[in-house]
Amino acid sequence: MPPKKAAPAEKKILLGRPSNNLKIGIVGLPNVGKSSFFNVLSETDLGKAANFPYATIDPEEARIPVPDARFEWLCETYKPASRVPAFLTCIDIAGLTAGASTGAGLGNAFLSHVRAVDGIFQVVRAFDDAEVTHVEGDVDPIRDMEIIQTELRLKDIEWVEKSLENLKRSGRALNSTSLADKAKKEEIATVEKILKVLSVDNKDIRKAEWSNKEVDVVNGLHLLTAKPVTYLVNLSERDYIRKKNKWLPKIKAWIDANNPGDPLIPFSVALEERLARMSPEERKEEEQKIGASSALGKITQAGYSSLDLIRYFTCGPDEVRAWTIRRGTKAPQAAGVIHSDFENKFVCGEIMSYDDLKEYGSEAAVKAAGKLRQQGKPYEMVDGDIAYWKAVYILCDAGWINYLPFENIISLTDCRTPRSVFGMRLILCPLEKFLPTATLGRHDVLPRLLAYRDTAMSVDLLAIRQTKVVRVVECTRFAPHPTYLPSFFTMTASGKNAC
């Protein structure tokens, strides 16, 4: 008897919100360069940079393009009319001070802003400047990092203690026979474990080991120390250029001891501000002259990766676009980022890797080499995939196409957001071809269509326009009925022949 196959390993659930639209917040003590960093990162002046605490009260938000050499190569190859890179949403949050967890210095409001983001850029000051005051009196990055970590943990402990108290109060009458009661007991046990990690083990939540069931509980609490942290050490321009600072080894040792694995990126706000005022040519010349380059691209990519975000591409002469998804996303959910109907009526995806396209030079060559794959619902997207989606749709308003010639090909767009359904193609055939009726009105045909399928697209979401003839993609799965009513039509999303 052949040995049984080993059970597949359980897929780990990620900490944090299960969303593709994640945000990262800039956190740190006052006067460490947070707002100045936000301004050069976003190329705006939204951040209120000033030489006193609490210059920023309300958080500012900006979308930062994520640099990607693959995206640039695809744009050079396809030469699209429109190019849309991946973006990272960044939030400038006011400075935290010692005692913020108890409300000091508007701490409760600021910590609520931290709770609303999904990851943290922690800016640490490692430069001396007598003209820029420090809220603690002198420059000591280790002390500053301990203040931030302590305040986030104390707020989490307070939050978890309240949650545990409420759970225990509602669970006094629990018994062991009900599945719901058992689940409630497991939840209480998990919250007790969370409290122990914070208060006894003195660890951040993201550094503890959690099962998938426990991750569900952790995510429900929206804890501050569960968020990924990227440490950004703000150096003087001189120290950054010579790649030397007395605090860097100590900061690295502290991170390794307290939060091992968290990324550390040195940068200089002073240098970034100076480079930002130059033209691209002047900036390149200056970087060559000083032997150092901007760290903003590296920082943006680190923040994007810390949130477990990846991107796939749709490519064509009309548009090259990077679509952001979370690592581990399946093909239907990835297609749903373009439009929810692609997920709901998913058929398959034609997938090629960026590396294969770059190696062979064209889509035709990739296909000829057998590297173009059709992937179904179980497929897990890989960073850098190039995708064309197919989905099955039901036509619910035949009245729009009653009098169109059979050979015409019709384009479909969402009339509320015309460009949001990028590259969607629906091939429609008039019902005269299939129904033996002289007059085909909406009230006559629609009930018959709905009789064959219990789902249909909303009429008010669709606008059909005969803009141009595009290639026939597919027209399959006609309903088995004496009248040969075509109830199903297939459509694809790609960068080709977009409306």
Binding residues: 31-36, 235
**Contacts for 436-443 with beta carbons within 8 Å, 24 or more apart?**
436/483, 440/398, 440/399, 440/402, 441/399, 441/402, 442/397, 442/398, 442/399
- CA–CA separation, 417 and 421 (whole Å): 8
Nearest to 100 by CA among 42, 148, 164, 36: 148
Q: Which residues are CB-neighbours of 52 under 8 A, at least 6 positions away?
A: 30, 31, 133
Nearest to 307 by CA among 11, 12, 22, 18: 22
Give 90's strand partners: 24, 62
User: Helix, strand, coil proportions of the chain in percent (round to 5)?
Assistant: 40, 20, 45
Q: Which pair of tokens denotes residue 119?
A: 């990851």
**What is the phi/psi pair of residue 399, to 5°?**
-60, -25
Q: What number of other Cβ atoms are within 10 A of residue 404's Cβ?
A: 16
- Spacing of C-alpha 312 from chain mean position: 11
**What is the phi/psi pair of residue 271, to 5°?**
-65, -40
Q: Helix (H, G, I), strand (E, B), or coil: what is residue 79?
A: coil
Q: Which residues are annotated as a binding site for ATP?
A: 31-36, 235
